[in-house]
Structure 1
Amino acid sequence: MKSYVREKVVKLALAGGWRGIAVEKWAKLAVEPDSIAENPEKVFKSDSNCITAMKKFKCGVKKPSLVFKKTTNKFTGGILFDFIRGTKARRNFNLALELSARGIDTALPAAALWRRKAFGEMESILLTEYIPGSINLYDVAFGRNREIIEKFSSRKEIITQVASILAKLRKAGYWHRDSKAGNFIVYKNGDENWRARLVDLDGIKPNYLYLGKNNVRTLAKLAETLTRFRMVNFTDLYRGFFNYCRELNIYHGERRRWFGRVERMTVAMRLATAVADSYKEVRSD
């Protein structure tokens, strides 16, 4: 296995029982964890236990925009396990550093904060760098960027890079159990080419067992979330599958067998989603 060099990490001095670490270039980050969710510039996702949003933070003389994901969990068996292996924010912070060092395009971590409260309640916050002008793959599938939908070269760039990210994850010994379109963003880099990046690491797990099944599930989940939209071209999806196989040296007969397995699992996932959606409609009537 190739060696890799991670960025240097420093401890943050925080009040109120909070602990934190940051990448060295964010060592001067000024953050108040208890009020971090107040007045965000943009909210990406929010529910009773978690909020993902973007806002400006002071870091030295600058005020850059960062994405934060704050999670609050009550005491459960999973929380007990987290006491042993570390909070989700800290695990994802370290995982993002590792993946970035391995050349896998993922959200660049800035800091991880956590606090354990009474009765087993745990709070954790992961901060990552924000890329202005970025949109997720759901936005692309909805047709909210006409350039990508109408320009073959743009679609090819994006699907090739998404396939490369998933292939590199596999080669690094990981798989993504929730590789839905919303967990990838696309953006234009300095030379005006489109780039793709993985931004949600919650579903990434070590691939110790069932290697083939896990990787089929990764591809099928992404395909299932994209094939819901008429804007998505099946040829583009197959091109992504082809590039994924090529990067992993999967050819000819083996590739056809893989495609058949991915296709069957994608159909099964679509049927399960349709049944679940129908059940919700019946319950709401």
Structure 2
Amino acid sequence: MAAVGGVTGGGWLVASAGAGERYEAGLVLGLVAGLSLALLRRFTRLPPGPRRPRVFTLPLPPPDWRAPLPDPHGDPEVLRPYAEQRARLLSDASALGCSLRHSCTLAPGLREELASYATTASIQASNSTLHPAGDGGPGSPDPAYDAAYALGELVAAVEFSRIGMRAVQALVTERPLLPDPPCYFNPLHDRGHARVALPGAAAGEVAVCHGCAREPAPLLVPSATGPVPYHESDAVDPRWRLLGYGAVTPDDGTTMITAAHDGFRAPPRSACGSGSKTLRAKVS
């Protein structure tokens, strides 16, 4: 009512003003009309005039998310720029996932699940890039252990970034996630579209890339006795090592997201002294 009164009063002011005052009166009327329109849009359910439909576009990251990454040869700093870039891109895109949770046509439960995947993966990817390798100083009695731990975390950041961006893409395209596991022997290789039997694996078979199906080329991490496969290193977080970053139980990312929620984290040896202790992980 106040807005309507303002428009009426402004119109009367224009009509009664002299020629020299009509410019100022018209300016006042324009301001009152703009304020009235803003108030109507703010406090009514049906704003006047058509509203443009909301259009969402998926951020187009520069990297090819499916392309293999270079082998760091045990040096986490080689992989760090790639992991940090992907974590930043996912962080920017995960907000889009939260918005689409309320608008896409997927079933409500699936919408919530995909949005949660994007958010959890973004947090885990960002956290996994915060572990620099030890420099051999007083606080790092075992630099090889710290380097292996940092490398394992950066690989996790890369994999979680893939999972999170796939979740956002599923919300944008309104299609459920499809299984897209990494290569068990080296998660930085091509995706694991082949399967091989692995003694001791929970599922009996693991996903591997076509190259490793012919001849395994594992990701090597530093150790006190020399490079070892990441899945044999006690420095790599047991969650990622036992799951093969999602290749042991290849699904749409559920296993890795569940492991991220588990909360277990193996601290670098530099943070807990040089003593050893048995590491255990709960894997869902």
- TM-score in terms of structure 2 length: 0.28
Higher relative contact order (CA 8 A, sep 6+): 2
Name which one, 1 or 2, has greater alpha-carbon Rg.
Answer: 2
- TM-score in terms of structure 1 length: 0.28
